[in-house]
Amino acid sequence: MSRHLRIGTRASPLAIWQAEHVRDALLRHHPGITVEIVSMTTRGDTWLEDAPPHTWGGKGLFVKEIEDALLQGQVDLAVHSMKDVPAQQPDGLEIAAIMAREDVRDAFVSKAYPHPDALPEGARVGSSSLRRRAQLLRHHPHLRVEDLRGNVATRLRKLDEGQYDAVILAAAGLKRLGLQDRITHLLDIDHSLPAVGQGAIGIETRSDDTVMRGRLVPLADADTQSCVLAERSMNQVLGGDCRLPVAAVAEWRGTRIHLRGLVATPDGRRILRAEAEGRDPAALGRTVAEALVAQGAAQIIQDIRCS
């Protein structure tokens, strides 16, 4: 039983923060082990072409290389933002633990404008997410939503340089990096329904590594895990991933999980919504997905895939 664990992660400052967070929790729960962080560059990090993310092709742009390292035994764990993790893991791998969720909301960041309502006609808002674009345009059709890529610091720098009047980022990333002061306004969940898994950190291992799975048990947060499972179950039925305008957020309400889901056209003109409550996360996800499909969600997703 190895006492030296290697964590595979992307190299961005946020990914490193998350890997260190997992390392610190492992060291707290398992005195006597040592942990090494192995950072690697993924296709999602190096993509430079001027094509919108939903056309990049292939799911899991940010996780594939790390999963390969895990399968080949070069690392023992992989730490991901659950938002970037596809619905299905490759054979032999599984998400063994999901940690307690950070703020699930999207954050509006701007120097001149306190709120999206204050943006003038034609203002440039940076976001490469079709999900954020659609929901913003729904209420503010007069805005110009423009592509914005790079890690959190890069996106803020592009805002500061004046390339945009505002940008939208996950609150979780800003808070983890100590950049919460940059948040101008936290977007209400009903105005910007978050991405599936947003704000949650997942830890992936080899399915046959029972020792590692045992060590991860104390790091898991059962409430977050069931919420993210409900969101992912909805997404799996829809065949969605983080590049599509699909959103979902689940939360516990007493003894039941409440799940809200959304599918939109990229221009925000059509927004389908469904919600339900239940105790079984997977069944709840399917229920909400089926309610969206009944409203035409499958056709919207199909149209985007083929465009």
Q: Which of 76, 84, 103, 106 is catalytic?
A: 84
Q: What angle do CA 103, 108, 113 make, to 5 degrees?
A: 145
Q: By the criterion CB under 6 A, which residues form the site for ligand PBG?
A: 81, 83-84, 169-170, 172-173, 198-199
Helical ranges in the chain per DSSP H: 13-29, 43-46, 64-71, 130-139, 152-160, 171-176, 210-216, 222-238, 281-294, 297-306
Give the nearest distance from C-beta 244 to ligand PBG in angstroms: 13
- Helix axes of 281-294 and 297-306: crossing angle, nearest 10 degrees: 80
> Which of 183/298 has CB closer to ligand PBG?
183
> Which of 33/100 has CB closer to ligand PBG?
100
CA atoms within a 13 Å half-sphere pointing along the CA-CB vector of 273: 14
> Which of 85/276 has CB closer to ligand PBG?
85
> Which of 173/240 has CB closer to ligand PBG?
173
Give the nearest distance from C-beta 293 to ligand PBG in angstroms: 25
Give the nearest distance from C-beta 61 to ligand PBG in angstroms: 9
Task: Tell me the chain's radius of gyration from C-alpha atoms.
Answer: 19
84 catalytic per annotation: yes
Give the nearest distance from C-beta 241 to ligand PBG in angstroms: 11
Report how far residue 102's alpha carbon sits from residue 221's, in angstroms, rounded to the nearest whole number: 12
Q: In what order do the strands lie in the sheet with 34-40?
A: 34-40, 4-10, 77-81, 201-206, 93-98
Query: Which residues have a catalytic role annotated?
Result: 84
